[in-house]
Amino acid sequence: MSGSDLIGAARRARRLAHAPFSRFKVGAALEASDGTIITGCNIENATYGLTMCAERVAMFKALSDGHRHFRRIAIVADTAAPTPPCGACRQILWEFGGDLEVILASLRRETGRHRLSALMPLPFDARILR
């Protein structure tokens, strides 16, 4: 799948977001190593603290379907500037996906490509617990 196809899947997932409070809709599309695309969107609730980001929704869906190896993730938001994953999402993506390619995009164009290690240079992971 091309990067633009992955971005398209994230854009479609964004349409399903439930963001009645912030109105900030985000979509994500995670590519497993076998080429399967798993999507996610953000889901808010009134407490905000229990809100789930699109990236974590995609990763948890992928894991619950048995996927364990991933190539990249596309994240789409309606912003002019790149919208990278929050800290919690970076942690989950790192622990379960490793040094993924992270493709950022708006509704109109790609806004950046990064390795997760560049977005999270000193990760906390299982190596520290040994």
Catalytic residues: 55
User: 10-residue block means of pLDDT along the chain (130 residues)?
Assistant: 89 98 97 98 94 98 98 97 96 97 98 97 86
Confidence (pLDDT) at 72: 98
Q: Do 126 and 112 touch, CB atoms closer than 8 A?
A: no
Reported pTM? 0.94
Question: How far apart are the C-alpha atoms of 36 and 90, rounded to whole Å?
Answer: 21
Burial status of residue 127 (CB atoms within 10 A of its CB: 0-12, 13-18, 19 or more): exposed
Sheet holding 70-77, edge to edge: 37-41, 26-32, 70-77, 101-105, 110-115
CA 29 to each of CA 34, 38, 77: distance values in angstroms, whole numbers, following the listed order: 14, 6, 12
Domain range for 87 is 3-129
Q: How many domains does the chain have?
A: 1
Q: What is the CATH number of the domain that holds 91?
A: 3.40.140.10
Confidence (pLDDT) at 94: 97
In three-state secondary structure terms, 104 is: strand
Confidence (pLDDT) at 4: 86
Confidence (pLDDT) at 130: 81
